[in-house]
Amino acid sequence: MSQKIQRPKGTQDVTPELSHAWKHLQDVAIHTLELANYKAIHTPIFEATSLFARGVGESTDIVNKEMYSFEKSDRSLTLRPEGTAGVVRAFVENKLSQHGLPQRLYYIGAMFRYERPQEGRQRQFHQIGAELIGLDTPAADAESILLAWQVLKALGISDLRLELNTVGDPDDRPRFREALQALLKPHFETLCADCQRRFEQNPIRMLDCKVPTCQTIYTSDAVEDFLQNFAWSPEASEAFEQLCHILSVNGVPFTVNRRMVRGLDYYSRTVFEFITDKLGAQGTVCGGGRYNGLIEELGGASTPAIGWAMGVERLFKLIEHPEAPALDAYIVTDCHAEAFAFAEHLREQGLKVEVDLSGRNFGKQLQAAGKRSARHVYTIGSQELESGVIPFKNFETGESSSLNFHFPNALTHRK
RNA sequence: GCGGUCGUCGCCAAGCGGUUAAGGCACCUGGUUGUGGUCCAGGCAUACGGGGGUUCGAUUCCCCUCGAUCGCCCCA
């Protein structure tokens, strides 16, 4: 058994039992996206490591400890840990802005993050993402969020909460950070070790801490006041209010969560997450936000954009798994040459058809048809070749009937 | 990377130091000269994730390892 090769840790096989439901999920999502005139973009599964270092951010966990990187002839390459950086790179490289803005793009595919697997978290996982590039308006934010909501609804997932926040413009971030540090400084000694580390590295993240003693500090009136009343730029605040308005008008339930932070450096202003309580600790089913600085950072003209990504595996656990379509016809036969011709005839009509290949007696073949829950069973033996009349039976109603079929070379090529 | 739990056939699952390692489902083969699955008979783990140890003896005890799972971290 030690010889047996297993799939790598944190990866999954989608076997035929599940592959239909898997395809269904993708089909529904893609259909919804395309109805909103989003167009697919396919980018490589690996990119220059520097793309993610610059795009996602040097200080993020993703870049620091989760990348699958490898060297090839002096180049450092990395399996994409997320989709936006690659899409933006492609947008810049292919000069998609020349085709007019805004650009509405979506992608779907595998992502890779070297993490300890747990429920809803794999090392290879899949994301469906949408990017709206070229606009920095509340309406654009709303379109993006509404679109995500529509995809989720189309999948039959509505038992979710949408959390929304604004993290201001890049210029505001240091201001916010310093103000927060100043506010929490007096409590530094009582904070947990993690928070003491975060204090310098990523103070905003402290607010998410699960340690009770830390939480009592972070939920104090002083901190609460600070969060509610921190003065973002007037533009950002104004835009955020309008966005909330549009979402309300469209009946999307949301809550403003001033503590929500996102792990990628490129976010600015609007950030949001759709969260479920049904998946344990990894409840974020869709996460996104605005990234106005990213395109310029990656060498393009300064262009605002917003986008999101959904975790396919997480969605998959939340949706109903539809049955695969039934087998329309089963062909019992000992004359395969002619049976294939007839099968093709049926398939041209869009029917799902299987030809029995076993060569066993017809009784056994009939049994096989029953096990497969075939709707109709056609029998093609030497008699049928001769007469050109094919008997068939509807296995759902039990009714028998027959039809005429012109076999190619039927009379000359019988076995 | 850190902690907890777990690992017996494709799936569910008994056994918990000495068993031929139950059983069910699924699957396969045959019983039926050409009209159906539910019937009957049989098959289907030289083996209990892998490796090492303790023991006269280990699926049952110990260690390591691999994997799963839950949580931390973080995110989709």
Answer yes or no: is A263 CB < 7 A from strand B: yes
- pLDDT (average), residues A48-73: 87
* pLDDT attached to residue A415: 43
CA A317, chain centre distance (Å): 12
**Quick check: A15 CB within 7 A of strand B?**
no
Residue A39, φ and ψ in degrees, nearest 5: -115, 145
> Comparing A16-169+250-318 with A329-404, is the CATH topology the same?
no
**Strand B positions closer than 7 A to protein CB:** 1-3, 27-38, 48-51, 66-76
* Helix, strand, coil percentages, rounded to 5, for chain A: 40, 20, 40
Task: Give the pLDDT band of residue A3 (cuts 50, 70, 90).
Answer: low
Contact, A223 CB vs strand B, < 7 Å? no
Q: Is A27's CB less than 7 Å from nucleic acid strand B?
A: no
pLDDT at residue number A377: 95
**Band of pLDDT at residue A179, cut at 50, 70 and 90:** confident
The pLDDT confidence band at residue A108, using thresholds 50, 70 and 90, is: very high
Where do the structural domains in chain A lie, given as residue ranges? 16-169+250-318, 171-231, 329-404
Of A60 and A384, which is predicted with more confidence? A384
Q: Is the pLDDT of residue A236 over 70?
A: yes
For the CA of A281 and the C1' of B26, the distance in angstroms is 34
Q: pLDDT at position A159, please?
A: 87
- Topology classification of domain A329-404: Rossmann fold (3.40.50)
Q: What is the mean pLDDT of residues A107-132?
A: 93
Q: What is the dihedral of CA A13, A17, A22, A25, to 10 degrees?
A: -160
- Residue % of chain A over a pLDDT of 90: 58
Residues A382 and A414 sit within 8 Å (Cβ to Cβ): yes
Neighbours of A393 (CB within 10 A): 20
Q: For A180-196, how does the pLDDT look when each residue is reduced to its tens digit (9 = 90+)?
A: 888 888 888 888 777 78
A192 touches strand B (CB under 7 A): no
Nearest protein residue to B75's C1' (by CA)?
Answer: A263
A315 Ramachandran zone, left/alpha/beta (phi>0; psi -120 to 50): alpha
Question: Which residues 278 to 297 of A reach strand B, CB within 7 A?
Answer: 280-287
Q: Which pair of tokens denotes residue A39? A: 């167009």
Which ipTM was obtained for this model?
Answer: 0.84
Which pLDDT score is estimated for A259?
A: 82
C-alpha distances in Å from residue A228, one per residue of A188, A333, A365: 22, 75, 72
Confidence band of A144 (pLDDT split at 50, 70, 90)? very high
Does the nearest atom of strand B lie within 7 Å of A60's Cβ?
yes
Out of A23-27, A201-205, A208-212, A264-268, give the one with best mean pLDDT. Answer: A23-27
Report how far Cα A112 is from the mean position of its chain's Cα atoms.
Answer: 13
A2: confidence class by pLDDT, cuts 50, 70, 90? very low
Nucleotide nearest to A113 in CA–C1' terms: B75
Bigger pLDDT: A7 or A105?
A105
Mean pLDDT of A267-294: 90
Q: Is the CB of A364 under 7 A from strand B?
A: yes
Q: CA A329 – C1' B11 distance (Å)?
A: 28
Residue A1's pLDDT is 35
Report whether pLDDT(A288) > 60.
yes
Instruction: Find the nucleotide nearest A198 (Cα to C1′).
Output: B73
| Average pLDDT over every residue of A374-396 | 92
CB proximity A121–strand B (7 Å threshold):
yes
Distance A1 CA to B18 C1' (A): 25
Distance A54 CA to B76 C1' (A): 20
Give distance CA A323 / C1' B7 (Å). Answer: 31
Lowest mean pLDDT: which of A193-207, A286-300, A335-349? A193-207
Q: How far is the CA of A406 from the C1' of B2 (A)?
A: 71
Q: How many CB atoms lie within 10 A of CB A347?
A: 13
Tokens of A112: 């890779």
Average pLDDT over residues A137-150: 97
pLDDT at residue A56 tops 90: no
Q: What is the average pLDDT across A349-361?
A: 93
The whole-number Å distance from A391's CA to B31's C1' is 26
Nucleotide nearest A333, CA–C1', reads B34
Cis amide prior to A203 (ω within 30 degrees): no
Residue A75: predicted pLDDT:
93
Give the pLDDT score at A266. Answer: 83
Check whether A123 has a pLDDT greater than 50. yes
Written out in words, the top-level CATH class of the domain with range A16-169+250-318 is: alpha beta
Average pLDDT, chain A: 89
The closest nt to A397, taking CA to C1', is B36
pLDDT at A87: 98
For residue A414, pLDDT beyond 70: no
